Amino acid sequence: MKTVYQMQGYTLHLIPTKKFKTITISLRMQSPLLKETTTLRTLLTFVLIAATKQYPSTKLLASYLDENYGARLSTNVMTKGQSQIMNIYTSFVNDVYLPQKEQLLEKQIQLLSDLFFNPYIMNDAFDDTIVELKKKELKERLQVAKDDKFSYSLDKLFEYMGKDQTLGIPSTGYENEIESVSAKTLYEYFLKCIQEDEKHIYIVGDIDEEIVKIFKKYLQFPENSKDYPSAYTFTSDRNDVLEVIEKQDITQSKLNLGYRIDCNFTSDNHYAFTVFNAIFGGFSQSRLFQVVREENSLCYYVSSSYDAFNGMMLVNAGIEAADYHKTMDLITQELEKIQKGELAQHDIEIAKMMLENALRKTNDEAGSMITLTYNRDITHKQETNDEYIEKLLNVKKEDIIAVAKQVQLDTIFFLTGKDFDENN
């Protein structure tokens, strides 16, 4: 069965499975991640699904979805390296599980079309009332993120580490820019997105090729052959580690470390680094968890993560302020041990098993299936899950040591209490 179709203005991807009683559609719109547009794109995801010409209020649109057996419609914005992606997501019951055919598939595709080509517009602008309401919602969302000290400290690490680079641009936009966005400006930018964004649509469920005819009938975009870059490797001219200590009225300190790694999603050593990260801090059996948390009781949580689209590695830990230097020393020591080859085959096998189990589980959730497929599509990586797993399982000890030796600490962001003394 053919699963990829080039439609007018977008690429359609079919992911047939009999696992779900629902059908899920995800429209992903990709554009370069830029300081000038990140706030506009984030606000647009709020406004886009608030109303249409036929359902000119959030309440009316919500009622329509409820009437269609509780169909879901949501949006979010994310970054993938050098790109920013708007995701318009809908899921609904497959007609075959209903007492009678309701044509829910056609209705939801038509709704997607209406969001773009029959929006609720007044005088060549989005509705002012809706835009002002969504501005308030976005501000509240950003404030919640700021109040969440884990999210806040992570954002600050990216800001300092990625200053004047893509990494430093927040996918959620800048709070101080929200108020200046007008309903007209936002609509003009929306029209630009329709024309210029690279678009992929994914549909997951018990489907066949007949569905392509329905998409052709209901959903077409302007012709577009854009191919925006996404994955890259973070680089820095910094000779010394940048250490930033910020003090607030908090009890649990947040330690965030950013590393240069010379590797990204498209690199040949991507598979070896994935295994290295799993051993170092990716799972509960990892070195950091066992040594820093379990053996030394130094943190509430600790883990490492491989950002394959920005080509960097993160370490996050929640600690007592007094344990800052000791925790830093232990994290450094565990990295150096792997770099020196102090690595048991047993640890490698456990890491591979954990990675394989995690990848197998992605087939149990439609959103995860779409994300994995999308990551490969925008990086032009022709690879199935089974092929990916096989490459992970073939990673050798010397491959892991080689990528570990490339890891260099670049930036420390430490959010701690007001009484912290950095000289102790």
Q: Does residue 43 fall inside a structural domain? A: yes
Does 229 map to a domain? no
Q: Is residue 77 part of a domain?
A: yes
| Final residue before a domain boundary, out of 184, 218, 252 | 218
Rounded to 5°, the CA angle 179-126-228 comes to: 80
Strand order of the β-sheet with 198-205 is 4-7, 10-16, 198-205, 22-32, 83-93, 72-80
- Global pTM reads 0.94
Do 309 and 342 sit in the same domain of this protein? yes
Neighbour tally for 8: CB within 10 Å: 12
Token pair in block for residue 210: 């007949």
Is the residue at 325 inside a domain? yes
Q: State whether 33 and 120 are in the same domain.
A: yes
Kindly state whether residue 36 falls inside one of the protein's structural domains.
yes
pLDDT tens for the 424 residues of the chain, in order? 789 999 999 999 999 999 999 999 999 999 999 999 999 999 999 999 999 999 999 999 999 999 999 999 999 999 999 999 999 999 999 998 888 888 999 999 999 999 999 999 999 999 999 999 999 999 999 999 999 999 999 999 999 999 999 999 998 999 999 999 999 999 999 999 999 999 999 999 999 999 999 999 999 999 998 999 999 999 999 999 999 999 999 989 999 999 999 999 999 999 999 999 999 999 888 999 999 888 888 788 999 999 999 999 999 999 999 999 999 999 999 999 999 999 999 999 999 999 999 999 998 999 999 999 999 999 999 999 999 999 999 999 999 999 999 999 999 999 999 888 777 6
Coil, helix or strand for 221? coil
Domain presence at residue 201? yes
Domain count, the chain: 2
Q: Are residues 381 and 255 in the same domain?
A: yes
Check whether residue 298 and residue 378 sit in a common domain.
yes
57 and 113 inside one domain:
yes
Residues 202 and 303 in one domain: no
Residue 401 sits in a domain whose CATH number is 3.30.830.10
> For residue 79, what are the domain limits?
4-218
254 lies in the same domain as 198:
no
For residue 306, give the H/E element and its range: strand 299-307
